[in-house]
A and B are shown apart, each in its own frame.
Chain A
Amino acid sequence: MTIRLERMIPLPMLEQATSGSGIWEAGSVDFEKGNFYIIRAPSGRGKTSLLSVIYGTRKDYRGEVYLDEENIATFTARQWSDTRKRRLSFIFQGLELFDGLTAMENILLKNNITGFRSDAEIRTMAGRLGIEQFLHRKAGILSFGQQQRVAIIRALCQPFEYLLADECFSHMDRENTRHAFGLIREVCRQQGAGLILTSLNGSEPMDFDRQLEL
């Protein structure tokens, strides 16, 4: 999948100073198939807005956004549903987990839509991120860092052509962060999928094809 932005700017950003922004001031921004992108910026520059617009959960923007040259403004509810199930995966900053479900149930919620991974694969991934023993616990009682890892695994339990990850390592220690990145890179490469990561500080243990500034 290619993602192209044409003079796209979220409406709230119009009121802010955006000079020097590599994205808001640019005419056209391209995200190519299978590439890894990192977007670093302090808070309030629109990192989440950018990803939300691409993902279709925010519609208050100017300009156009194209997924594989299709303007997302024309997408129907059905198209968004299909896109989010099979083409775009998102790791939300707010995680969007269901407190009333266990960690495993949260993951299966997404996984069972496509039956993408087996129970064993999920447990393996959970093992790699150090949360296998928490899978049966209700998500609401896990620590934020543990919840983040659940969200990461959930996002990897579907087919995707682009993974959108919004500041999802804030509460993880170095070692877990390393493991998480390793897992993400592996899965993306496996599918030939691209990655757009947003970050505050920029200490990610991974190589990116391109860095963008907001």
Chain B
Amino acid sequence: MRQVYKILWQDHSRAHLLWAFLGTFAGFVLLLSGIQFYIDLRGVLSANRDLLDPEYIVINKKVHIGQTLGLQGNGFSQEEIDELAAQPFAQKVSPFISNEFPVAGYTESERFPDFYTELFFEAIPDEYIDVKSEEWDWDPDEGVIPIIIPQDYLNLYNFGFAQSQGLPKIPKGVISLINFRIRLRGEGSGNFDDYDGRIVGFSNRIHSILVPLDFLQWANDTYGYFKQSDPSRLILVSRDPTDPEIIRFIEEKGYDTIREKLKSSRLNIILKFIISFLLVIAAIIIGLAFLVFLLSLQLMISRSSGKIRRLNRLGFHYREIGRPYILLLLILLAGVTGLSLLATTILTRQFAQLASVWNLDISASLHGIIYGTSTGLVTLIFLSNMTAILVSTKRLCS
């Protein structure tokens, strides 16, 4: 048989086989990495990935002129709250409680310049806050009001105000040591109480000055005299913040929210579209490469038709004659599969490294479906080409 291989391999240009190989390789890598990234991105962009970490969205009403002129309230009525809670994307809805009396903060220390400002407080149930602190409770006897402020405020101070004023920057750990006082004022002048305030945490999720809910409820009962108004902000817990329904509902109702969070749903759609497009391209490339394989082999067989007939006359069966071509096919396809899996693994590792820099959790190993897809596809290409080879050699030998 060695001589048979030699004869059939002689006098052939290898170029078209190389093209078939490269084309199939490119198509495979495109297809496999497309599938890999599609699965990864679906996991990252969809909060479904981690059932224990639903996303929180803070919703408020857009402020417009009617509210400014006092003609409209800018809070959410109970009906509006219920309507939101009834939406399929809403898991839970909770209103922000605000202070119903004036609040002020001031400092009395020698180390910091004197400081006095009106403040506001908001409160929501503890379960919605992303900061856990042991100091987060209110004890009227102790008289220390724990406060959580947004991380952004600290950044704004450190990199904005302090920077420009030449003041020292305050690290996170230090800020809780700063003493300041909180003045709660009831109705009528001279009706106020002072308490110590302490910042006990920084939130990345809630853009507000938070105090414990039970404190604010007690304080509102004790000092509150503003007209009761509807809550101006709601916190929405949804399973999948990338659900485009959320953004549609919010826009339809004229509500507002921080776009950043919901951007990922648009991003999600765009990315899915791009990847789907790539997958289609990949499928086309593979289809074309398959065709090139088929035609290359047919061309080789056709060019060797004289030799094939001669071999048949010498007693070789058409299956024996087909064997060198089938072996060639097998080697090329095995090479394509191996190399494309390798290339995809390398690409995946690179992407995973890159993603970890952005704090995204992407798998560095190939998903099982990749192996399944490549094996299935290459088996399909192999079997169909093998059949074509045997049909051709048989036809020549009859």
Query: Could you say which residues of chain B place their CB within 8 Å of the CB of A57?
Result: 313
Q: Is the CB of B3 within 8 A of A77?
A: no
Q: Are A85 and B315 in contact, CB atoms less than 8 angstroms apart?
A: yes
**Interface SS of chain A: helix, strand, loop or mixed?**
helix
Q: Is the CB of A105 within 8 A of B3?
A: yes
Residue interface mask B303-322, A partner, CB < 8 A = 1: 00001001001111110100
Are A98 and B315 also in contact (CB < 8 A) when A77-B394, A105-B3, A112-B3 are?
A: no
Contact partners of A14 in chain B: CB under 8 A:
none
Asked if A101 is an interface residue, CB under 8 A from chain B, the answer is yes
The smallest beta-carbon distance between A60 and chain B, in angstroms, is: 13
| Residue A109 at the chain B interface, CB threshold 8 Å | yes
CB-based contact A98/B317 at 8 Å: no
How many angstroms from the CA of A110 to the CA of B1 in the assembled complex?
A: 9
Distance in angstroms between the alpha carbons of A202 and B316 in the assembled complex: 33
Interface residues in A83-104 by Cβ distance below 8 A to B read: 83-85, 90, 92, 96, 98, 100-101
Contact assessment for A112 and B2 in the assembled complex, using a CB-CB cutoff below 8 Å: yes
Do B307 and A98 have beta carbons less than 8 Å apart?
A: yes
A77 touching B313, Cβ below 8 Å:
no
Whether the Cβ atoms of A112 and B7 lie closer than 8 Å is no
Evaluate contact between A100 and B397: CB separation under 8 angstroms. Answer: no
From B1, B11, B307, B397, contact of A77 by CB (8 A): B397
A158→B316 CA distance, assembly (Å): 13
- For A55, A57, A83, A109, the residue with the greatest tally of chain B CB atoms inside 10 Å of its CB is A109
Is B68 engaged at the interface, CB distance under 8 Å to the other chain?
no
Contact pattern, A 104-127, Cβ under 8 Å of B = 1, otherwise 0: 011011101100000000000000
Say yes or no: B315 contacts A113, CB within 8 Å: yes
The answer to whether B7 touches A100 (Cβ under 8 A) is yes
| B residues near A78, Cβ cutoff 8 Å | 317
Distance between B307 CB and nearest chain A CB, rounded to angstroms: 7
Interface check B398, CB cutoff 8 A: yes
Q: CB < 8 Å: which of A83, A92, A105 contacts B313?
A: A92
Cβ of A71 < 8 Å from any Cβ of B? no
Known A-B contacts A77-B394, A77-B398, A112-B1; the reply to A96 vs B6 at CB < 8 A is no
A170 within 8 A of B: no
Q: What are the residues of chain A within 8 A of B370 when measuring CB–CB?
A: none
B163 → A minimal CB distance (Å): 82
For B6, the closest partner residue in chain A by CB is A101
Closest residue on chain A to residue B317 by CB atoms: A81
| CB nearest to B316 among chain A residues | A81
Contacts of B317 in A (CB 8 A): 77-78, 81
| B residues at A contact (CB < 8 Å) | 1-4, 6-7, 10-11, 307, 310, 313-318, 320, 394, 397-398
Question: 12 pairs across A/B with beta carbons < 8 Å?
Answer: A77-B318, A77-B398, A80-B315, A81-B315, A81-B320, A92-B313, A98-B3, A98-B7, A100-B10, A109-B7, A112-B2, A113-B315
Known contacts A81-B320, A101-B6, A113-B315; 4 additional CB pairs below 8 A are A77-B397, A84-B314, A96-B310, A100-B10
